[in-house]
Structure 1
Amino acid sequence: MALAYKVSEEAYVIPQSLPVLGVGKLPVSSMVLMGKEPMILDTLATVHRDMFLEEVFNIVEPEDVKWLFISHEDRDHSGSIMQVLDRCPNAKLVTNFLGLGKLYEEFPIDPHRVHILNDGDSLDIGDRTVSAIRPPLYDSSATCGIWDPKSEIYYAADCFGIVAEDIPHFTDEINENDFEEQFFFMNRANHIWYEHVKEADLAAAAEKIKALGSRIIVSGHGPTERRDPDRMCEMIKRIHDMPPIELPNHDIYTELLAQAEGQ
């Protein structure tokens, strides 16, 4: 059974998850943007490789793929870079200059198959021009998202995610109170620097995404927002005044492990 689901006429999300001991699951999502020059956005984690390759090439033929966008170097976003490039001879890797340097630590990428797209840059992909726009919160200094004005979709990398036991396709399929709890946990725990920046700066970063007027926000770590993308940006602003998440120490980790093994 296919796992990918359609979020617009030309956009598909491929969802997976990773376990978070004692908390639930971390969604891990990639995206395929169809059109004249199809683009794959992120490649899930290394442990998802077989599933990802099957799903993505059920959506788009390998020789049709023109662009592989990698939001940042973390392995839950870059787990199948070389496999995609090997199977897609006409594709170029799209990342920023800093991200490329980090990817070179592991991957033997052909530099002639790279298109540098720094934050604020635009790229013509045939029937639309997409833009690289850094999300308000991120866990790698190389992170960028992608804004597609044609489909009115913003792909947000790590931002706007959740951690939960059950992960539906869309945020409006979650109880509002549960969603806020899951959202504020993930966006504080994964972006721990939020408490060290000025409130006005975080709000301005959220307003930058809000000003896009997106119809849909796809998070690399959450369900798709299709109802009210502005609400997601307003929620990011509220994080500044929240205390940091206290993560488990070794004693608590041991207890959580014992509980999990006893289930």
Structure 2
Amino acid sequence: MAVNAMVIRGAQPMLLDTLATVHRDIYLEEAFKIVEPEDVRWLFLSHEDRDHSGAIMQVLEKCPNAKLITSFLGLGKLSEEFVVPLDRVHLMNDGDSLDIGDRVVTALRPPLFDSSATAGLWDPNTEVYFAADCFGTVCEKAPQYTDELSDTDYEEGFFWMNRVNHIWFEHIPKDVIGAAADRIKALDSKLIVSGHGPVERKDTARMCERIKRVAGMKPVHLPSQVEFEAMLGSASTA
């Protein structure tokens, strides 16, 4: 499963997510090849999960001019583990916009999410939507773009990931998830970047239509203890 972060280069550079704790060193090395730490003005955190927040304190330390973008709920969740300087926090709720010098970015919650503090980010200059965990997929190899996989291989991992990771989907009316997907579809973005999958670069509308299909699917069966022990036994035999 891919774990992705982004950098917006511009008048007020912004980092989007910081990968997992185990990726911390490589993240800091690669991010600061793209932008100088002193130039970073914003760190947008899609949600507090450790595979997205693994280096936020290191970024704040290395980037003295940066503010952390989260929500009030996200700040509360982060404060269970981190001491975040409150004067370096900028709160954004779903639908809020922020002028970052040469563009105005908007926080837009994706159709499916696994944390109640989740926000995606829309950058109208590059026409890129960063979707947090939504639109992710799991596959044997992690290509950069969705079109590098066959539809069959891509959709198998896509529908599994978007049911397992957003397990509440089965309790929500189809039209509610559909409306949330249409909201992102209406952006007519050039790219949809998931935090956990290859980038959609050719047909972002189709990606949104796929999310609508999740609403009509059955939940994924996950192993019980008995099944888990059988899996371990099979692995040992192999």
| TM superposition score normalised by structure 1 | 0.88
Structure 2 CA distance, aligned partners of 1:60 and 1:261? 46
Structure 2 CA distance, aligned partners of 1:262 and 1:88? 50
Structure 2 CA distance, aligned partners of 1:143 and 1:41? 13
Change over 3 Å in CA distance of 1:244–1:86 after alignment to 2: same
Is 1:239 paired with 2:214?
A: yes
Structure 2 CA distance, aligned partners of 1:255 and 1:203? 38
Is 1:102 paired with 2:77?
A: yes
Q: For structure 1, list consecutive stretches of 5 or more residues without a partner in the other structure.
A: 1-25
Structure 1 CA distance, aligned partners of 2:235 and 2:206? 35
Deviations 1:58-93 (A, max 9, x none): 111110111000001100000101000000001000
| TM superposition score normalised by structure 2 | 0.97
Cα RMSD for the two superposed structures: 1.1
Query: Which residue of structure 2 aligns with residue 207 of structure 1?
Result: 182
Is 1:42 paired with 2:17?
A: yes
Q: Identity percentage over the alignment?
A: 63
SS in structure 2 of the partner of residue 32 of structure 1:
strand
Structure 1 CA distance, aligned partners of 2:55 and 2:235? 30
Is 1:143 paired with 2:118?
A: yes
Q: For structure 2, list consecutive stretches of 5 or more residues without a partner in the other structure.
A: none
Matches within 5 A, 1:248-259: 248-259=223-234
CA shift, 1:245, in A, is 0.4
Match of residue 108, structure 2, among 117, 130, 133: 133
Structure having the higher strand fraction is 1
CA shift, 1:163, in A, is 1.1
Give 1:165's aligned amino acid: E
Structure 1 CA distance, aligned partners of 2:128 and 2:95? 16
When the two structures are aligned, how many residues end up with a matched partner? 238
Query: Which residue of structure 2 aligns with residue 87 of structure 1?
Result: 62
Which ranges of 4 or more aligned residues in structure 1 deviate by more than 4 Å? 258-263
Structure 1 CA distance, aligned partners of 2:167 and 2:9? 34
Match of residue 69, structure 1, among 44, 48, 60: 44
Match of residue 191, structure 2, among 211, 216, 228: 216
Deviations 1:86-144 (A, max 9, x none): 00001000011111111111111000000101111000011000000000000000000
Change over 3 Å in CA distance of 1:144–1:254 after alignment to 2: same
